[in-house]
């Protein structure tokens, strides 16, 4: 309530609950409400394929492509951004001077002896040199990495 009052809006809890319920009903049950919600958060719509049927897992109901829409948005630093506004580009892979892996997570490091070398996040995180460990993203960086085929990815390692 304090936030509403700071905006000069004074309503009791019952009135606020009724308004919230009405807005939710409008968003969930009307096309205008859905369209408003989609536009508010910058979603892109994509209609289902006309040559496909889709099965809804929890009800086992089948629906044709013209009755299903897929919504996409991006959340960038806590802000909704339409995916069309985002350009994607690949990060160049560099070879790690320690383990030899060719990866996007390598960093140029100047070692104690003054030599510059590329080191991957895994080698940095597991180094005996605390200064090198501090330049890594830690083991969390490897766990969150989307390159699952990397020999250092925690999900890639298999014990035979």
Regarding pTM above 0.75, the answer is: no
Q: How confident is the model at residue 158 (pLDDT cuts 50, 70, 90)?
A: low
d(CA 160, CA 95): 27
pLDDT tens-digit series, residues 75-133: 899 988 888 888 998 889 999 999 999 999 999 998 888 889 999 999 999 999 898 99
Q: How far is the C-alpha of 44 from the C-alpha of 25, rounded, in Å?
A: 22
Task: Report the Cα–Cα distance between both ends of the chain, in Å, rounded.
Answer: 59
């Amino acid at each position: 309530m304090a936030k509403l009052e700071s905006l000069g809006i004074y309503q009791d809890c019952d009135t606020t609950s009724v308004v919230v319920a009405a807005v939710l009903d409008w968003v969930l049950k009307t096309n205008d409400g859905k369209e408003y919600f989609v536009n508010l958060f910058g979603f892109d719509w994509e209609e289902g394929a006309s040559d496909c049927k889709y099965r809804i897992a929890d009800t086992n109901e089948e629906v044709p492509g013209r009755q299903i829409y897929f919504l996409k948005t991006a959340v960038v630093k806590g802000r909704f951004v339409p995916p069309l506004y985002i350009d994607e580009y690949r990060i160049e892979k560099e070879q790690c001077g320690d383990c030899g892996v060719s990866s996007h997570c390598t960093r140029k490091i100047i070692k104690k002896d003054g030599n510059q070398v590329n080191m991957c996040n895994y080698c940095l995180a597991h180094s005996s040199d605390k200064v090198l460990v501090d330049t890594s993203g830690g083991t969390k960086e490897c766990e969150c990495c989307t390159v699952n085929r990397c020999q250092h990815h925690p999900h890639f390692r298999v014990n035979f």
